[in-house]
Amino acid sequence: MYFSQSDFDKEQQLIYTYLFSNELVKAKDLIYSDYLASKDESRKVIGYVYLSFYYSMIKDRRERAEILNQAELIAQKTKNPLDNAYVNYGYAGYFMESSDDELFLNFFNKSFNTFSKSPNENFMLTLLYFLKQMYNSDFSGYYKTRDYAIKTGNPVLISWSLSRLGNSCLDEFIRSGHKKDIDAAVSFYNQSYQYAKLIKEPAAREKSFMVYYINYSYALNLVTPKQYEKAMELNALAEKVINDNKTLEKYRSDVYGNIGFTYEGMKNYKKAEEFYLKAYQYYDANNYYKLINKIAVFENLSNIYQKQNDFKKALTYEKKIKDIIKDDGKKRLSNNVGIMKLFYNAEQKNQQITELGKRQILYIVIIILIIVAGVSLYYTFNNKYELNKKNIALLEAEQKILVIQQERLKKHALAISLRLDYKNNFIKGLKSRMNDKTETSLDKIWKEDLLNENEFNEIQNIVEKVHPDFFKSLASKSTAKLSNLDMKYAAYIYMNMDNQQIANILKADPNTVRVAKYRLKQKMGLGKNDDLRSFIQNMDL
């Protein structure tokens, strides 16, 4: 059995702390001095993997891919399962950023399975769960993440895991409205603050404080009774931390967005507008992983202008949302093409190394041919047979990767098309009402903003172009006749949207979405313990 025991590797944990607090120079120096300079090949693998995350933070994807390839070559030589687990962790992070669902899950599962079978690897299991949370905001393992972090005794990981657990409870409160969820969120935020005070590295400690201020201040706008004054105090503390540490500048937009949200809750729309505009001023699209976070900056402004009946400005920011969605689709397509090229080049290099070794073997075989013709003939045929097997396996692997890429791009194209279709309809509606001289009711706009039955035909056409048998298959599996509204909900579920996202798009109450999904589940003949999302996403098309 092989042991890495990341729980006891203080240098490795310090590298993570430096990356967490954006002290990139310190992280890089420690990686080179304690890992890449080591004579231990397994330690070099760990160093290269963390170096790949360093290049992720400075936005150098090409260098990151090269570094991971070097780590993989060493792991192939050592044949140490934990070395491969580190490499798979690095690749999981790489494909998470490129939103490649299948490859991310493939490498994540390989890494997690190996580390979970090894003793004293709670540190690495916590980092893997952090990756899973960033990949999927609906990830249900927040409590497990906290439990793994607590076993490490590392206050950075514990504080961070508690913050994310609080965010999960807060999201659940927004969906459910249950008091126990908001109380749990506040409790976890306060626990995260207590562990933040135990962090020795100043920069990491200050960042953890800032995260606490931002999260807790947002929650105070939702508790009953509202605590706007305390929320403002916490926002001021978060801003002070950023002013004192310029490496945290990217969070300034979040702080101003929080302040705007507090003023909006107080119905001081002018002040809310002022700080939403400040959030927009400091907005940097490169600092956000998820499309929904990018859109939130512009939706805040759109919403506040609608509340002030300034539909012209609201329309401006709705158009910006539409542009963000378009750009995101183009970037993802470009990234996936780039990924395929990078890994094709890496495979070519690996194949060249393999071929060089085969040539050396061939020279030996030629010498042996001179001495023993019969034996050499046997080895020649045997080598050709093995080479053919490897070439066939390589071609099959490349074909599988291409199929996975094409399927993922199809799904993403479907999501982008539906979102753009919705925004186009909404913008047209706003334009017509702005041209109407009569007084415009905001409530009426939201009600009429819902997609009607005729518009569903357009959605159906989009879905059927990507998956022609989707609706046919859905109808054949149902026990009752499905309405256009049922089909529409099924399309959104197929795109992996949660209740809140569907409610936001349709401008409907989340409870309405839950009831509609429950009725759809009954029509599909599913039992109480059956999952509607899994059923729809795993249908044979």
What is the per-residue pLDDT across 382-436, written as a single tens digit (0 to 9) for each? 555 555 565 566 666 556 655 555 555 555 555 555 555 556 656 666 666 666 6
Residue 346: predicted pLDDT: 46
Same domain flag for 322 and 391: yes
* Residue matched to tokens 């909900």: 489
Alpha carbon distance 481, 81 (integer Å)? 52
Q: Establish if 150 belongs to a structural domain.
A: no
**Which DSSP string corresponds to 93-136?**
HHHHHTT-HHHHHHHHHHHHHHHHTSTT-HHHHHHHHHHHHHH-
Distance between CA atoms of 125 and 113, rounded to whole angstroms?
A: 10
- Is 144 contained in some domain? no
Residue ranges, the chain, pLDDT below 70: 1-4, 137-138, 285-294, 326-468, 504-507, 540-541
- Assess if residue 243 is contained within a domain: no
Bin 478: left if φ > 0, else alpha if -120 < ψ < 50, else beta: beta
Is there a domain that residue 56 lies in?
A: no
**Which pLDDT belongs to residue 355?**
54
φ, ψ at 62 (rounded to 5°): -65, -45
DSSP 185-198: HHHHHHHHHHHHTT
Q: How far apart are CA 197 and CA 176, in angstroms?
A: 32
Helices and strands counted in the chain (H then E): 24, 0
Instruction: Measure the CA dihedral 73/77/83/84, to 10°.
Output: 60
Q: What is the pLDDT of residues 79-92, one digit of tens each?
A: 999 999 999 999 99
pLDDT at 210: 96
pLDDT at 81: 95
Question: Is 344 a member of any domain?
Answer: yes
406 and 472 housed in the same domain? no
What is the structure's pLDDT at 197? 98
- CB distance 226 to 220 below 8 Å: yes
* The pLDDT value given to residue 411: 54
Q: What pLDDT score was predicted for residue 247? A: 87
In this structure, is residue 476 part of a structural domain? yes
- 3-state class of 521 per DSSP? helix
End-to-end CA distance of the chain: 44
334 and 406 assigned to the same domain: yes
What pLDDT is attached to residue 154? Answer: 97
Query: What pLDDT does 391 receive?
Result: 59
Of 366, 396, 411, the position where a domain reaches its end is 411
Sequence-distant (6+) residues with CB within 8 A of 462 are 414, 417, 418, 421
DSSP state of 33: I
Provide the pLDDT for residue 353. Answer: 43
Angle, CA of 443, 502 and 436, to the nearest 5°: 30
What long-range pairs does 519-527 form, CB within 8 A, spacing at least 24? 519/486, 520/482, 520/486, 520/489, 520/490, 522/480, 523/478, 523/479, 523/480, 523/481, 523/482, 523/486, 524/477, 524/478, 524/479, 525/477, 525/478, 525/479
User: Do 359 and 366 meet the contact criterion of CB atoms below 8 Å apart?
Assistant: no
Alpha-carbon span 271 to 36, nearest angstrom: 52
Whether residue 102 lies inside any domain: the answer is: no
Number of domains forming the structure of the chain: 2
Which secondary structure element, helix H or strand E, spans residue 231, and what is its range? helix 228-244
- What's the pLDDT score for residue 367? 64
What pLDDT does residue 117 have?
94
Range of the domain at 384: 310-411
pLDDT at 240: 96
| pLDDT value of position 24 | 95
DSSP string, 313-382: HHHHHHHHHHHHHHHHHHHHHHHHHHHHHHHHHHHHHHHHHHHHHHHHHHHHHHHHHHH-HHHHHHHHHH
What is the rounded distance in angstroms from the CA atom of residue 166 to the CA atom of residue 153?
Answer: 19
Characterise 40 by phi-psi region: left (phi > 0), alpha (psi -120 to 50), beta (else). beta
Tell me if 475 is assigned to some domain. Answer: yes
Q: What is the pLDDT of residue 449?
A: 46
From 396, 411, 426, give the residue that closes a domain: 411
Claim to verify: residue 326 and residue 403 sit in the same structural domain:
yes
Q: Does the bond joining 81 to the residue before it have cis omega, within 30 degrees of 0? A: no
pLDDT number for residue 510: 80
Name, in order, each residue with C-beta under 8 angstroms of 131's C-beta and a sequence gap of 6 or more.
Answer: 89, 92, 93, 96, 108
**Total-model pTM:** 0.63
Domain closes at, from 411, 428, 457 = 411
Same domain, 473 and 404: no
Q: In the prediction, which pLDDT does 499 show?
A: 82
CATH number at residue 511: 1.10.10.10
